[in-house]
């Protein structure tokens, strides 16, 4: 899927990932898909929306739909006062903000350490994961934007 | 060449639309030379351009049509047949053009000989007509006419030469540009090189850009020449719609930024920005108006095709019809114009077909034979009013009434109380058509409801006035533009929302001691407003807030009521606060939110906050479904009776009859039995105090229905095998009797474990066994695996399944997993329970049910704000991707196969863990 696309575009078999932490787990987004990183501020709640929709917010004059990745991944909610960050991405011309816990460094990873999803991975996670990278001492799950939205938008937001 | 072609396509299409209109006019006044000249010129231009562009098919057809029109110009009588033929030819040209556009410039294959030969035949006969006339006058006329014809015929092979004169000139001009290029490019290069460290790619780029602009200029020049040549007004220029849209977006942004600035200045009283900002504000407003104007088009553009349609209809229906158009110059937004086109066409068709009587009938009532349809448009307070009026028979109230009764839309008693006007409005109901005969024109059941939907989609409304015998008129009220709307900012449940002003009728402030106060009719809030009762609903309630909060808020009985009108529905929405009105720029919601019918979009306010825009139509439909649930409450008795009837009349089930222990037959639904097996008695082994057989590589425990059952010592032993999640159990029986299709009415309940009760099956009293009792005998934990969850103990689950067996089957499964289960056998009964105020933490519903199926049930639940958040799980024997998708659309949270018990438990567990997450 899109990880293959990246393979084609990435230089010398390696891709740069913006790493983020969601509920203690390290995730990586291909840097080409990340538009900005921001602190979600004054998010307007959208009643009746799917539970993972944290709300809508104004990011420099654009309306961004914020998606709580913890909800999306069926993880427990973070503490009331915990610091949150958001990664701005674009999907089919619309702006979305993925609300995550913290943003880490940018990693350049070669395809050597890439592996497909383990077959026993929780199917709700496997649904949005484009594979796993073996890093020193930890694993990084690749967030596949296309699949993330494919699973959410098309079936009319399966709540 | 591509630009040229697309320019040609737009221009030709426009010309053809004009020709359409002009021809219809011409048919009515055949002596008007001006009209004819105009048509002739337009067709001639099309023909010429086609020749130049190398489109022989179009050229030939246009030529043949032109020839025939040439005859008219020379005085041949104008016949209906001839005009029809030309109109058909024009249609054919349009078809070819459409194909041309999709094919990107290649003319489609095919021949127009059929039309051309007809056109030529008519030209010839027209000539003879002219000749005859001329001969009678004994004039030199015939010679001239004949001469011209010869010329025309001869002209065909010659024309490419003729046309190319114009085009040669154009070709010259284009060539000029290309010659210029090499001159220009080198001139650019040295300039770029002169900069010391200008990288070479830049030079190339600069050169290329220049080349492009030169080319564009050349083309523009050529086009301009071409235009003035064909005498198209040079007062206007063509701008791509995209450019205008972009301009509009930018202006919208500017308006937003201005609003933000105004907001800031509002907070700083003595700001020095005040004056320049005021100026900026004015300029912005003017700019906004100006840009809006560029998007404005006379409504006449949407009417252009109508005269032709009416003419065709008039012939088809054999009714003379006159179409009057008033206010064609009234301007409205392009976007709105596009959206109103189809509904208008539909209404005109309707008026012509249903509204106007046949000429003989008209004469009988003393009306002129020719029916008139009047189309008018005018501005009225930020809205455009479009009226379609006919002087026909008016709406037949009696016929509408009988249709209403037939369709069951209202009862006779209800109709009695209605005014004629209310009855008229039934024609806007879906699938309502008063035409007794289905004609090719209308009466297919897709009618006024579609029109109403389309109009409401753009925030408009439609009304109807009709007087029997004198005609009817439809009045459409639509907003001028959709991009920027004036909205009322309100607060509800701590959040702000924008309500489009268009649907707001008035604001009412309610206080306990004031004139206006909220009253209740059995928990339903209403407001007495000018001697009328206005149904009320709290905004937070519509938006899915908890019942308890809303009630306490309503109890305080203070706040504002926004009185809204959508279509013919008037209602009040209670909000906590009203701020101000603001011009807001409607921005579409992201596709993730587009399924929310309560909102039409979102916007950024002056203070930078994003707020949701309430969709009045969504509120109205939520009100309607809410109202119907209230009505349902009043009809409880009937429903109860219906439920009783449903219990009696259960659908039939396939039952497996067998004997075990006693001689009375026993039964179990066949659908649960995995297979029937017979084992050699010698194969039955005994281990750990129980009987087992080796079955498919595993040991299968055997269970006896009656412990006293005699074990056979030889021969074979029949048994029913039940499998689930890799485990199997053999239920030992003495004899398998039969498989029957019968209703399973358990008439006498049973106290004996393992027996659900007795039912009459095949005219014999039969014991229906309770599998839920036997399964755990094989595996104690059959129903209780690791899914047993302490948290689940407090959860109430509603199980809806029409099959008694499944209810009996699943209830213990769910109970074993720790849920407090209530089972009911139909969606109606489920609604009953819900309406009674029973709360459930989750609903598990079967899909295949009589009357209301699972999808409909779930959709109904989702429409009701009270149950919108309750997780609903679908249970179905059919699990295909399509049915799962259908389930998701209906609003189900999950879709589980009927026999997938672990899946059901896991899914429920999942839902509750998710729900806990939300609550936290």
Any residues with CB less than 8 A from the CB of B385 and at least 6 apart, and which?
Answer: B377, B378, B379, B475, B476, B477
What is the separation of C-alpha B434 from the centre of its chain, rounded to a whole number of angstroms? Answer: 24
What is d(CA B270, CA A115) in angstroms, rounded to the nearest whole number?
64
What is the value of pTM for the model shown?
Answer: 0.45
Residue B232: CA atoms inside 13 Å, Cβ hemisphere, count?
16
> pLDDT per residue over B328-379, tens digit each?
888 887 778 888 888 888 888 888 888 888 888 888 888 888 889 999 988 7
- CATH code at A51? 2.40.50.180
Cβ contact B610–A155 (<8 Å): no
Contact status of A37 with chain B (Cβ, < 8 Å): no
In this structure, which long-range contacts are made by residues B629-635, counting pairs with CB atoms below 8 Å and at least 24 apart in sequence? B629/B831, B629/B835, B629/B864, B630/B524, B632/B831, B632/B835, B633/B522, B633/B835
Contact status of A137 with chain B (Cβ, < 8 Å): no
Cβ contact B612–A57 (<8 Å): no
Alpha helices in B576-615 (DSSP H): none
What is d(CA B35, CA B199) in angstroms, rounded to the nearest whole number?
62
Cβ contact B610–A53 (<8 Å): no
Task: Kindly tell me if the per-residue pLDDT of B749 is higher than 90.
Answer: no
* Contacts B253 to A, Cβ<8 Å: 61
> pLDDT per residue over B193-251, tens digit each?
444 443 444 334 444 444 444 444 444 444 444 444 444 445 677 788 788 878 888 88
Any residues with CB less than 8 A from the CB of B573 and at least 6 apart, and which?
Answer: B499, B536, B537, B538, B539, B542, B561, B562, B564, B619
Which one, of B49, B52, B24, B19, lies nearest residue B37 by Cα?
Answer: B19
The whole-number average pLDDT for the span B831-857 is 82
**Domain contains A55:** yes
| Same fold: B241-297 with B299-479 | no
Query: In 10 A of CB B550, how many CB atoms?
Result: 23
Per-residue confidence (pLDDT) for residue B726, from 0 to 100? 63
Cβ contact A157–B493 (<8 Å): no
DSSP 8-state secondary structure symbol assigned to residue B353: I
Contact status of A113 with chain B (Cβ, < 8 Å): no
Judge whether B72 and B293 are in contact, CB under 8 Å: no
Output phi, psi for B688, to 5 deg: 55, 35
> pLDDT per residue over A100-135, tens digit each?
999 998 989 888 888 888 888 888 888 888 889 988
Q: Which CATH number fits domain B484-634: 3.40.50.300, 3.80.10.10, 2.30.30.40, 2.70.240.10?
A: 2.30.30.40
> Which is more confident, B229 or B686?
B686
Any residues with CB less than 8 A from the CB of B626 and at least 6 apart, and which?
Answer: B537, B864, B865
What is d(CA B573, CA B537) in angstroms, rounded to the nearest whole number?
5
**Domain contains A158:** no
- Structure token pair of residue B596: 């929310």
CATH (residue range B299-479): 3.30.565.10
Domain containing residue A102: 2-153
Judge whether B501 and B581 are in contact, CB under 8 Å: yes
Per-residue confidence (pLDDT) for residue B457, from 0 to 100? 73
Cβ contact A50–B598 (<8 Å): no
> pLDDT per residue over B66-75, tens digit each?
788 777 777 7
Task: State how far the alpha carbon of B399 is from the alpha carbons of B436, B540, B877, in Å.
Answer: 10, 42, 45
> Which is more confident, B835 or B444?
B835
Decide: helix, strand or coil at residue B584: strand
- Structure token pair of residue B343: 């509904």
**Domain contains A126:** yes
What is d(CA B583, CA B564) in angstroms, rounded to the nearest whole number?
19
Contact status of A11 with chain B (Cβ, < 8 Å): no
Judge whether B614 and B599 are in contact, CB under 8 Å: yes
Judge whether B887 and B844 are in contact, CB under 8 Å: no
Taking the CA of residue A47 and the nearest CA in chain B, the distance in Å comes to 6
Judge whether B669 and B754 are in contact, CB under 8 Å: no
Task: Kindly tell me if the per-residue pLDDT of B630 is higher than 70.
Answer: no
For the domain made up of B2-175, the CATH class stated in words is mainly alpha
3-state helix, strand, coil in chain A (%, to 5): 20, 45, 35
| Residue B453 backbone class (left: φ over 0; alpha: ψ -120 to 50; beta: rest) | alpha
- Structure token pair of residue A120: 């026993």
Per-residue confidence (pLDDT) for residue B920, from 0 to 100? 33
pLDDT interval class at B563 (50, 70, 90): very high
Residue B25: CA atoms inside 13 Å, Cβ hemisphere, count?
17
- Structure token pair of residue B289: 């108006």
Which one, of B659, B679, B598, B636, lies nearest residue B837 by Cα?
Answer: B636
What is d(CA B633, CA B523) in angstroms, rounded to the nearest whole number?
12
From B222-236, B309-323, B532-546, the region with the lowest mean pLDDT: B222-236
Judge whether A1 and A147 are in contact, CB under 8 Å: yes
Taking the CA of residue B507 and the nearest CA in chain A, the distance in Å comes to 24
- Structure token pair of residue B194: 């002169």
Output phi, psi for A95, to 5 deg: -95, 135
The whole-number average pLDDT for the span B775-801 is 63
Q: What average pLDDT is seen over chain A?
A: 82
Taking the CA of residue A136 and the nearest CA in chain B, the distance in Å comes to 32
Residue B877: CA atoms inside 13 Å, Cβ hemisphere, count?
7
Task: Kindly tell me if the per-residue pLDDT of B315 is higher than 70.
Answer: yes
Cβ contact B612–A77 (<8 Å): no
CATH (residue range B241-297): 1.10.287
Any residues with CB less than 8 A from the CB of B741 and at least 6 apart, and which?
Answer: B652, B653, B654, B655
B888 closest CB neighbour out of A57, A77, A158: A158
Per-residue confidence (pLDDT) for residue B639, from 0 to 100? 40
Confirm or reject CATH 3.40.50.2300 for domain B790-919, answering yes or no: yes
Place of tokens 């109205």: B620
* Contacts B587 to A, Cβ<8 Å: 63
Total structural domains within chain A? 1
Judge whether B53 and B8 are in contact, CB under 8 Å: yes
Q: E strands of B576-687, at which residues?
A: 577-585, 599-604, 610-614, 652-659, 666-669, 675-680, 685-687
Per-residue confidence (pLDDT) for residue A20, from 0 to 100? 93
Contact status of A152 with chain B (Cβ, < 8 Å): yes
| Chain A with chain B: Cβ pairs closer than 8 A | 91
Contact status of A92 with chain B (Cβ, < 8 Å): yes
Query: In 10 A of CB B604, how many CB atoms?
Result: 24
Query: In 10 A of CB A141, how many CB atoms?
Result: 21
The whole-number average pLDDT for the span A33-50 is 89
The whole-number average pLDDT for the span A65-78 is 88
- Structure token pair of residue A32: 């080409």
What is d(CA A153, CA A149) in angstroms, rounded to the nearest whole number?
5
3-state helix, strand, coil in chain B (%, to 5): 50, 25, 25
Judge whether B464 and B472 are in contact, CB under 8 Å: yes
Which one, of A138, A147, A141, A135, lies nearest residue A117 by Cα?
Answer: A141
Q: Which residues pair with B135 in a beta bridge?
A: none
- Structure token pair of residue B114: 């059929």
Per-residue confidence (pLDDT) for residue B649, from 0 to 100? 40
- Structure token pair of residue B815: 């109970």
| Chain B: residues touching A (Cβ < 8 Å) | 253, 256-257, 493, 495, 543-545, 587, 589-593, 595-596, 598-599, 602-604, 608-612, 868, 885, 888-889, 893, 910, 913-914, 917-918, 920
pLDDT interval class at B401 (50, 70, 90): confident
Query: In 10 A of CB B31, how many CB atoms?
Result: 9
**Domain contains A159:** no
- Structure token pair of residue B830: 């489920």
Per-residue confidence (pLDDT) for residue B498, from 0 to 100? 93
Judge whether B733 and B720 are in contact, CB under 8 Å: yes
Query: What is the Cα Rg of chain A in Å?
Result: 15
Per-residue confidence (pLDDT) for residue B432, from 0 to 100? 66
Output phi, psi for B807, to 5 deg: -60, -45
Taking the CA of residue B850 and the nearest CA in chain A, the distance in Å comes to 26
| Smallest CA–CA distance from B895 into chain A, residue | A158
Place of tokens 């020749």: B51
Question: What are the domain boundaries of chain B?
Answer: 2-175, 241-297, 299-479, 484-634, 647-778, 790-919
Task: Kindly tell me if the per-residue pLDDT of B734 is higher than 80.
Answer: yes
Looking at domain B647-778, its CATH superfamily turns out to be: CheA-289, Domain 4 (2.40.50.180)
Per-residue confidence (pLDDT) for residue B77, from 0 to 100? 76
Per-residue confidence (pLDDT) for residue A115, from 0 to 100? 86
Place of tokens 């839902």: B911
Judge whether B351 and B388 are in contact, CB under 8 Å: yes
The whole-number average pLDDT for the span B546-565 is 65
> Which is more confident, B86 or B126?
B86
From B87-96, B588-597, B737-746, B797-806, the region with the lowest mean pLDDT: B737-746
Pick the most confident of A4-8, B8-12, B122-126, B545-549: B8-12
Pick the most confident of A82-86, B37-41, B182-186, B251-255: A82-86
Any residues with CB less than 8 A from the CB of B429 and at least 6 apart, and which?
Answer: B407, B409, B449
Cβ contact B914–A50 (<8 Å): no
Q: What is the 3-state secondary structure (H, E, C) of B163-202?
A: HHHHHHHHHHHHHHHHHHHHHHHHHHHHHHHHCCCCCHHH
Which one, of B899, B892, B725, lies nearest residue B803 by Cα?
Answer: B899
DSSP 8-state secondary structure symbol assigned to residue B567: T
**Domain contains A20:** yes
Task: Kindly tell me if the per-residue pLDDT of B27 is higher than 90.
Answer: no
> pLDDT per residue over B33-52, tens digit each?
777 777 777 787 777 777 77
Residue B115: CA atoms inside 13 Å, Cβ hemisphere, count?
25
The whole-number average pLDDT for the span B768-794 is 61
Per-residue confidence (pLDDT) for residue B409, from 0 to 100? 76
Which one, of B14, B104, B98, B1, lies nearest residue B53 by Cα?
Answer: B1
- Structure token pair of residue B333: 């937004």
Task: State how far the alpha carbon of B227 is from the alpha carbons of B38, B62, B235, B700, in Å.
Answer: 16, 20, 11, 90
Per-residue confidence (pLDDT) for residue B490, from 0 to 100? 93
Handedness of CA B538, B542, B547, B549 (dihedral sign): negative
DSSP 8-state secondary structure symbol assigned to residue A44: B
Judge whether B571 and B536 are in contact, CB under 8 Å: yes
């Amino acid at each position: 899927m899109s990880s293959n696309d990246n393979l084609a575009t990435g230089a010398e078999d390696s891709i740069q990932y913006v790493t983020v932490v969601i509920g203690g787990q390290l995730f990586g987004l291909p840097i080409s898909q990340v538009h900005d990183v921001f602190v979600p501020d004054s998010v307007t709640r959208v009643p009746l929306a799917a539970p993972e929709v944290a709300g809508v917010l104004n990011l420099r004059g654009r309306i961004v739909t914020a998606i709580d990745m913890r909800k999306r991944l069926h993880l427990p909610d973070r503490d009331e006062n915990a610091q949150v960050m958001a990664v701005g991405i674009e999907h089919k011309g619309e702006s979305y903000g993925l609300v995550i816990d913290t943003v880490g460094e940018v990693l350049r990873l070669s395809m050597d350490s890439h592996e497909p999803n383990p077959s026993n991975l929780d199917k709700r996670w496997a649904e949005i994961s484009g594979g796993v990278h073996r890093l020193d001492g930890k694993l990084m799950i690749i967030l596949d934007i296309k699949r993330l939205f494919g699973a959410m938008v098309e079936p009319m937001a399966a709540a | 060449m591509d630009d040229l072609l697309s320019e040609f396509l737009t221009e030709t299409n426009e010309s053809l639309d004009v020709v359409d209109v002009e021809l219809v006019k011409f048919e009515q006044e055949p002596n008007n030379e001006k009209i004819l000249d105009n048509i002739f010129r337009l067709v001639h231009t099309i023909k010429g351009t086609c020749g130049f562009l190398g489109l022989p098919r179009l050229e030939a057809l246009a030529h043949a049509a032109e020839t025939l029109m040439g005859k008219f110009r020379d005085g041949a009588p104008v016949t209906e047949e001839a005009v029809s033929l030309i109109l058909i030819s024009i249609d054919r040209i349009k078809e070819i053009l459409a194909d041309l556009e999709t094919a990107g410039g290649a003319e489609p294959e095919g021949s127009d000989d059929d039309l051309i030969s007809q056109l030529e035949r008519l030209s010839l006969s027209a000539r003879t007509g002219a000749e005859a006339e001329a001969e009678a006058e004994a004039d030199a006329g015939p010679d001239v006419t004949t001469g011209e014809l010869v010329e025309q015929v001869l002209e065909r092979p010659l024309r490419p030469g003729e046309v190319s004169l114009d085009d040669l000139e154009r070709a010259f001009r284009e060539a000029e540009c290309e010659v210029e290029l090499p001159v220009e490019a080198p001139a650019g290069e040295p300039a770029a090189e002169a900069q010391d460290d200008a990288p070479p790619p830049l030079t190339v780029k600069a050169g290329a850009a220049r080349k492009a602009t030169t080319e564009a200029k050349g083309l523009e020049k050529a086009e301009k020449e071409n235009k003035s040549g064909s005498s198209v007004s040079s007062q206007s220029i063509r701008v791509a719609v995209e450019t205008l849209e972009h301009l509009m977006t930018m202006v919208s942004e500017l308006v937003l930024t201005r609003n933000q600035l105004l907001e800031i200045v509002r907070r700083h009283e003595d700001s020095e920005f005040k004056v320049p900002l005021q100026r900026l504000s004015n300029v912005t407003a003017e700019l906004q108006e100006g840009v809006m104007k560029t998007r404005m088009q006379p409504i006449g553009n949407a009417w252009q095709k109508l005269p032709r349609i009416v003419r065709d209809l008039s012939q088809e229906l054999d009714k003379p019809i006159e179409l009057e158009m008033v206010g064609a110059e009234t301007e409205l937004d392009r976007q709105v114009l596009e959206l109103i086109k189809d509904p208008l066409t539909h209404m005109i068709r309707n008026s012509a077909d249903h509204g106007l009587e046949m000429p003989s009938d008209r004469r009988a009532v003393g009306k002129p034979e020719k029916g008139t349809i009047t189309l008018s448009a005018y501005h009225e307070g930020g809205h455009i009013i479009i009226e379609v009026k006919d002087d026909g028979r008016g709406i037949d109230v009696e016929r509408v009434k009988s249709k209403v009764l037939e369709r069951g839309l209202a009862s006779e008693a209800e109709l009695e109380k209605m005014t004629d006007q209310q009855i008229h409005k039934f024609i806007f109901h879906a699938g309502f058509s008063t035409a007794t005969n289905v004609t090719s024109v209308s009466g297919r059941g897709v009618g006024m409801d579609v029109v109403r939907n389309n109009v409401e989609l753009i925030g408009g409304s439609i009304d109807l006035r009709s007087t029997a015998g004198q005609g009817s008129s439809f009045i459409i009220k639509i907003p001028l533009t959709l991009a920027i709307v004036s909205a009322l900012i309100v607060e509800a449940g701590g959040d702000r929302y924008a309500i489009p002003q268009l649907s707001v009728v008035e604001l009412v402030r309610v206080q306990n001691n004031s004139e206006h106060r909220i009253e209740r009719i059995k928990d339903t809030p209403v407001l007495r407003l000018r001697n009328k009762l206005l149904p009320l609903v709290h905004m937070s309630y519509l938006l899915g807030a908890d019942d308890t909060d809303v009630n306490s808020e309503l109890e305080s009985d203070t706040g504002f009521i926004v009185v809204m009108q959508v279509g013919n529905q008037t209602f009040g929405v209670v909000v906590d606060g009203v701020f101000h009105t603001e011009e807001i720029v409607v921005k579409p919601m992201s596709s993730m939110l587009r399924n929310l019918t309560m909102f039409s979009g979102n916007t950024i306010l002056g203070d930078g906050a994003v707020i949701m825009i309430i969709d009045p139509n969504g509120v109205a439909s939520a009100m309607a479904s809410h109202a119907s649930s209230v009505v349902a409450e009043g009809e409880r008795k009937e429903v109860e009776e219906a439920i009783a009837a449903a219990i009696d009349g259960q659908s039939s089930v396939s039952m497996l009859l067998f004997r075990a222990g006693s001689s009375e037959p026993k039964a179990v639904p066949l659908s649960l039995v995995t297979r029937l097996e017979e084992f050699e008695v010698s194969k039955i082994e005994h281990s750990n105090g129980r009987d087992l057989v080796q079955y498919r590589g595993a040991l299968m425990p055997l269970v006896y229905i009656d412990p006293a059952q005699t074990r056979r010592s030889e021969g074979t032993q029949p048994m029913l095998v039940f499998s689930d999640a890799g485990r199997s159990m053999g239920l030992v029986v003495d004899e398998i009797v039969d498989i029957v299709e019968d209703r399973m009415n358990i008439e006498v309940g049973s106290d004996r474990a393992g027996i659900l009760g007795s039912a009459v099956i095949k005219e014999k009293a039969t014991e229906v066994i309770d599998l839920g009792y036997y399964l755990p005998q094989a595996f104690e934990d059959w129903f209780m695996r690791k899914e047993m969850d302490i948290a689940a103990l407090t959860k109430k689950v509603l199980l809806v399944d029409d099959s008694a067996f499944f209810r009996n089957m699943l209830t213990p499964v769910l109970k074993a997993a720790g849920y407090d289960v209530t089972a009911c056998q139909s969606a109606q009964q489920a609604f009953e329970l819900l309406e009674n105020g029973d709360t459930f933490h989750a609903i598990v519903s079967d899909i295949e049910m009589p009357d209301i199926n699972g999808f409909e049930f779930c959709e109904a639940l989702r429409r009701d704000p009270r149950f919108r958040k309750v997780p609903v799980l679908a249970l179905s024997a059919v699990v295909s991707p399509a049915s799962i998708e259908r389930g998701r659309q209906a609003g189900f949270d999950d879709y589980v196969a009927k026999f997938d018990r672990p899946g059901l438990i896991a899914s429920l567990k999942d839902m509750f863990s998710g729900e806990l997450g939300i609550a936290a």
